[in-house]
Structure 1
């Protein structure tokens, strides 16, 4: 058992789930059911030396969109207090991505809220060490469409920028011209030393 406390593991895979809220977890100990409730025997893992630090390389719900990074991709989480329970609450937003060529990608985006707490059977803390993910689907959907802009749109934007620069330059020129004229007038009548 002492050797197990110094080891680490890599977990990867995929799951197909119904389009309703749910949860999944990674926790130590033998799992079993009591009265249709999923539980783990964590007695051997309740010491403060059990470490649930983890690195999440990638987590997604559905196919990935090129160039979009998910909120917890690449994070490192360190358990500073021994046996720690990490909880990730995930809000999933169904997303339709329409490319310029008309191809449609049905996927999901999500946001995450993370909580952590130390757990110890010895002190009566509730919970168990591990990494827990709870997710729910938002009742709204996002549609992202790529659109090609015409040369006319580009030309209009360039003309608007040039017009804006010309207008600002004209205002600055008029302000400087009037300021110089006012100073010259004061000098002529002798009000400026």
Structure 2
């Protein structure tokens, strides 16, 4: 039953592997699924609200791992060495697209992907961002704890303010990277 509901979510509202391997000019950040209300409506009787974030992150992580295997098979060794992908969350309370946490209680995972890692040095740029204090982000802490990732993943936090006319908007992006030994 749940498998059918997951398939329904992904049917016409999610990314495909080929999308993540496309050679974008710089990088792209496609969401796992388009549409917070759709996810909530389909899963509301199957997943507890407090577990929905963990559920979606786990789906995204499985998708990410599959994409890496797919990329390794489809790209040349040089292209694969230039391939980078990680999971992100965006949080902007002022933007309806990214307001899922306040309205629905979960973040929508996205994929930060590029085939220009060597040119853009994205991984090292991410690592320059501060590591988030997960005590300030209980949903993220619960997700990583529930999935036994809390000790092996760093969550880097990028914050910025955008000015549109007389209004300013605070934005956050969380990058999830495996810790390196």
* Fold conserved between structures, TM > 0.5: no
Q: Counting helix residues as a fraction of each chain, which structure ranks higher?
A: 2
State the structure with more CA Rg.
1
- TM-score after normalising by structure 1: 0.29
